[in-house]
Amino acid sequence: MMCCKDLLERSTEAADLDFKSTFDVNADGDWLEIIKDIAAFANSGGGTLLIGVNDDGTPSRADLAGILGIDPADLTNKIYGYTGSHFHNFKIKECEKAGHKVCSVTVSSAHIPLVFTRVGTYERKPGKQKTVFSVGTVYFRHGAKSEPGTSEDLRAFLDREVDLIKRSWLEGISKVVEAPTGSCIVVLLPDTQPTGPSGAIPLQLTNDPNAPAYFVPPIDITHPFRLKEVVRETNVRLVGKKSVTSHDILCVRRVYPVQNNIKFFYKQNYAAPRYSQAFVDWLVQMYSEDAQFFEKTKEQRNDQLKQSAT
């Protein structure tokens, strides 16, 4: 799909581009027309609506505050009301064409065709109804128009989805074929991030159905701080009360079982230790419960050193 800049330079509508001069958030007809076009783009592999653009590609200079202020969730709900599908693969963005503000609605492809389950009718004039789409219709882009689909449209939709599945399978097969000899293939959920040496981490398996599901988020998220950052974050939290140093934190780490608590501490091979936000929260909590926490911890660390020296 073309970027917004390329689309803005075009002056004619096409299968992947539609112009609308205005959009009134209070007009039922405008809502039905935009829902029809979004469904047609989604069923045809994607496309873009440019609102605030005349049929000849020139800016209409219309007031676009209404469409630009739309909550995408509201548009998703309206699409659901007429299709029964929670389609949200679109983006509403403010752009500029020939020095004037326009609104782009970029629509991505749907993996299941959007079928209208409710008639789209509005009162065009007093006593005169207009039907934008009927129950059971599936719209596609035919050139510059959004029209009811044909057998060829449905065949093209299925071919496109099959092609996507084939590419996904081939990518997976390529990874297996190109893996070094002796590699172990592991199946993970899509959002799982393996960690540890060589991307592996030891696990203890259990048949307990109440055991939690396991996955490892990126270490930069779970343990974002190094030692100096722990000092900084702690001092920010204790400003005006206490100022801690790296030595204070290291004493805490030696006296308390911080290194054995994955919620607080993580150490990768050949890398500096990493600490979590929970560890900073715990330090602040310990100080709030005992203002002498850091002094007492340093005394305990000194006692440990003396004992180890004897």
Q: Which two structure tokens, joined as six digits, stand for 64? A: 């676009």
Q: Which two structure tokens, joined as six digits, stand for 128? A: 């005169």
Q: So where are the chain's domains?
A: 4-152, 220-304
Q: What is the pLDDT of residue 2?
A: 44
Of 71-80, 114-123, 265-274, which range is least confident?
Answer: 265-274
What is the rounded distance in angstroms from the CA atom of residue 200 to the CA atom of residue 217? 13
What is the rounded distance in angstroms from the CA atom of residue 95 to the CA atom of residue 47? 16
Q: Which two structure tokens, joined as six digits, stand for 178? A: 């190109």
Tell me which of 43 and 186 has the higher pLDDT: 43
Q: State pLDDT tens for residues 163-190.
A: 888 888 888 787 777 777 777 666 665 5
Q: How many residues does the chain have?
A: 310
258 within 8 A of 223, measured Cβ to Cβ = no
Q: State pLDDT tens for residues 95-154.
A: 999 889 999 999 999 989 999 999 999 998 888 999 999 999 999 999 999 999 999 999
| Residues 113, 116, 121: CA angle, nearest 5 degrees | 150
Q: What is the largest CA-CA distance in the chain?
A: 101
- Asked if pLDDT for residue 208 goes beyond 80, the answer is no
Tell me which of 290 and 267 has the higher pLDDT: 290
Direct distance between the N- and C-terminal alpha carbons of the chain, in angstroms, rounded to an integer: 73
CATH architecture for segment(s) 4-152: 2-Layer Sandwich (3.30)
Question: Which neighbouring-strand residues pair with 122?
Answer: 130
Q: State pLDDT tens for residues 151-167.
A: 999 999 999 989 888 88
Q: State pLDDT tens for residues 232-256.
A: 999 999 988 999 999 999 999 999 9
Q: What is the pLDDT of residue 130?
A: 94
Q: What is the pLDDT of residue 120?
A: 95
Q: What is the pLDDT of residue 221?
A: 85
Rounded to an integer, the average pLDDT of 280-293 is 94
